[in-house]
Structures are given as structure tokens and as C-alpha cells.
Structure 1
Amino acid sequence: MRDSATATKTTYIDLIRHGEPEGGVKFRGSLDDPLSNLGWSQMESAITSTDQWDVVVASPLKRCRAFAEHVASTNDLPCRIEPELREISFGEWEGKTADVIEKESGDLIRQFWADPLNNTPPGAEPLTRFQTRVISGWNRWLDNLEGKRVLMVCHGGTIRMILAEVLGIPLEKSFAGVAIPFACRSRIRIDQTEYGRFSAMVSHSPLINTPNPSMS
């Protein structure tokens, strides 16, 4: 019989991307726009009365934090704010639409989506730095919340970094490799065993008919 100290501990983390923010589709990054009315509705549609969590963790940006605090308050749960889960900064592209950027920068926007690792927007946060801080925050909460059921409210880029880590997606393919529309949910199971930590994505559930802007 295994000693109880080496028994497997399982953590479930439900990653949910924020809904539509106010201000329309644009490269938002570190801009702190709140959710639109539609965005709130999308988020409310993404959770159910049967969901059970022990704690809520969120990016500090309004489009994530406000809904996370609402869920925590409604369900009498603790809410933890993690700055390292904020979205990537898009530098000079922030606040601009893809059409405007294409007019100003030509093919750079296409090069970014094809290979964001080697095509950093002007003044933006390099992808390697973004990955490092997101995974640092992710691993800290895996350690702190071992064995819990967690709702984590964050951003499309943040979730892509986490899924790339879990699924082994090359960093240069991380932005284009997985569709994460507004209010999309991804469940990650983490088993901490005597042989090490094992992570797997067990579900990925975009809302039906939800657009997939990838810039916020």
C-alpha cells in the first residue's frame, strides 16, 4: 500500500477567456477596457449552476477581474488576483484594428500571426518574456492550489501560453495553433504523483456562434 504522503493529488483548473470588451475588435493587450453588455452575457452563458470551484483566480485587467469577483462573491469563494496572468502588451499596436495596422505596417501583422516568436510588434512585449511570466504565475498557483477545483479568468494570449505548455505546442505556433474565442472554456487536469506532475487538457469548449478575435 502506498503511503498517504505519496498518494496522487488531482487539481482541476477551468480556464475561461473574458467576453467581448467595450470598444470593439482591436489589439487591446494591456488596455484596461471593461466588458460590454454582450461580454457579460457571454461569460454568464459559459458557466452553469452545476459548476463547483474552491477558488477563483484572475488577471487584474477589468475585462477579467470584474466577472471573476462577481462569481466569487455570488458563490462565497475567495478571489485571487494574479498580475502575471495579464494579456501580452502589443506595444504600438494597442488600440488599433488589424486593418489600420496593415495600412501602417504592411505584412508585419501577417508575419506576426504566422510566427509571433520572431516578429514582435514595435514596442511590444517579446513572446518569450510573455511566456516566462505567464508560466511562472501558472506554476505558482499549481503549487498553492494543489488538489483544488479552480476557475481561472484570463485572456486569449495567456490561455495560449498555458495550453502550449500543457500540450507541447512550439512557441512560434502558439498563437495560431488553438482557437480561443470570447468566453471559451478549457479544463486542465493536473495529477501530482510520486512520479512527478502530469498535466492534460480534458475539454475545450468555445461558445457556439461566438466570434474569435484574438487581439485582446
Structure 2
Amino acid sequence: MTTSIDLLRHGVTENSQRYCGSTDYPLTQLGWTQMWHAVNSQSTQWQHIVTSPLARCADFAHALGQRYSIPVTQDDRIREIHFGDWEDRSSAELMHTDADALSRFWQNPLDYPPPNGEHLLDFKARVLTAWEDIQQRFCGKKVLLITHGGAIRMIVCHILQHPLERVLDIDVRHASIRQVRIDHAKAYRVTLAPDSSV
């Protein structure tokens, strides 16, 4: 028995150049186009959609579900990491006000989280709890998970056993899809296909 879970990052938003973890910006028209292109390039017939509740994920998830009569579930645990004092600010702005802290974060987000932001270990705990629950709930099914770059990095990091402090090295482009296949018959073997970006 195989469980298929495809990880889709949302498309471009109105403020894609800013740190918007919990800030709820919608997709741009380009973002919508990117996401339709991404799902139309896939041959999988998904049986369920699980989405972050933030508009940049949920709006598309419900549109896709409605178009193809696929049930949609929102899961708050797969929303993006909260960036604390850096929410809704760009890297360019932070380089003027908080350059040292920003550089340390880029090099090692585990030890140097954003001020008053969600710690990477807490983020890991909530995302991977959701990930395990989704695998159990939809065992043997084909599922599309619509979420954020941070959540996808965390799942990929977990599957590949990548060092957590290097999680930002994992490239997750807007509207890219990574395919995860879980083979339950072979001692729980998880395979991760390369991303198929727009």
C-alpha cells in the first residue's frame, strides 16, 4: 500500500519580498496562474486536499476542490512560521536596522531566530505532528498538501534527515510541487521526488 502526498507551495503574493509568516496577504493574479499551471502539470488524481488556513493557500485550495469535487481540510498546524518583529518587513529594510541578526538567521535559523518569532524547534514540532497525522488519516490515499515554503522545507528536512540548522539551504520556489511516496509494505520507505517548478 502506498500513500501519495504532494507538497505544493503557494504562488506569488502581494508582498512576496517580505517576511510574511502569519501576515495574511492573498495571491496576485500571477500567483493564481502559477498554481493552476502547477496542478494542471500533474497527472495525479487527488482524493483530498489539506491546506494552510492562510489566504494564499486556502483560497486556491477551495477553488481547486470546488472545480474537481475534491474535499478540502484546513490544518492550522501547517501555516508558515511566525517571524515576530520581522513580520511584514523586507530583507532590504532589515539590512538597515538589524543586519547582524538577519545574517545570523540566514546562517543558522536554529540558534538565531527572529526577535520574538516562533522558534524553529516549535515550528518543527507543530509541522511534523501535522505531517504524521496526515499520513495516518489518509493512509493509502492521494493527497495534495497546499502550504508554505517553511513547512515544506521542514518536511523535506525531516525526510532527508538534513541538519535542522541548514533548513534554509532547501530551495522551495513559489508554486513548486514535491512528490512524497510512502511505501507501507517496505518497512515504511519514504521517497521524495525532485520538485517540479513552474
- On whether the aligned pair clears a TM of 0.5, the verdict is yes
Q: 1:98 aligns with which of 81, 88, 91?
A: 91
Q: Does 2:149 match 1:159?
A: no
**Number of equivalences:** 197
The alignment's TM-score, normalised by the length of structure 2, stands at: 0.96
**How much does 1:34 deviate?**
0.8
Query: Deviating runs (4+, > 6 A) in structure 1?
Result: none
RMSD: 1.2
> Are the equivalent residues in 2 in contact too, given 1:111–1:119 (CA < 8 A)?
yes
Name the amino acid aligned to 2:53. P
Q: 2:69 aligns with which of 76, 87, 100?
A: 76
Q: 2:125 aligns with which of 126, 129, 132?
A: 132
Counterparts of 2:61 and 2:150 in 1: how far apart (Å)?
Answer: 18
The C-alpha deviation readout for 1:106-138, integer Å capped at 9, x for no partner, is 221121111100001101000000000000001
Q: 1:32 aligns with which of 24, 27, 35?
A: 24
> Are the equivalent residues in 1 in contact too, given 2:86–2:115 (CA < 8 A)?
yes
Gaps of 5+ in 2: none
**How much does 1:47 deviate?**
1.3
Gaps of 5+ in 1: 1-8, 208-216
SS state of the match for residue 205, structure 1?
Answer: coil
Counterparts of 1:174 and 1:106 in 2: how far apart (Å)?
Answer: 20
The alignment's TM-score, normalised by the length of structure 1, stands at: 0.88
Counterparts of 2:171 and 2:7 in 1: how far apart (Å)?
Answer: 14
Instruction: Indicate the percent of aligned positions where both proteins have the same amino acid.
Output: 37
> Cα gap change, 1:128/1:24 in structure 2, threshold over 3 Å: closer, same or farther?
closer
> Which of the pair is proportionally richer in helix?
2
Q: 1:200 aligns with which of 183, 191, 194?
A: 191
> Are the equivalent residues in 2 in contact too, given 1:31–1:95 (CA < 8 A)?
yes
Q: Does 2:2 match 1:16?
A: no
SS state of the match for residue 122, structure 1?
Answer: coil
Counterparts of 1:74 and 1:102 in 2: how far apart (Å)?
Answer: 43
SS state of the match for residue 179, structure 1?
Answer: coil
**How much does 1:52 deviate?**
0.8
> Are the equivalent residues in 2 in contact too, given 1:167–1:200 (CA < 8 A)?
no
Look at both structures and tell me which one has the larger radius of gyration over its CA atoms.
1
**How much does 1:24 deviate?**
4.2
> Are the equivalent residues in 2 in contact too, given 1:102–1:108 (CA < 8 A)?
no
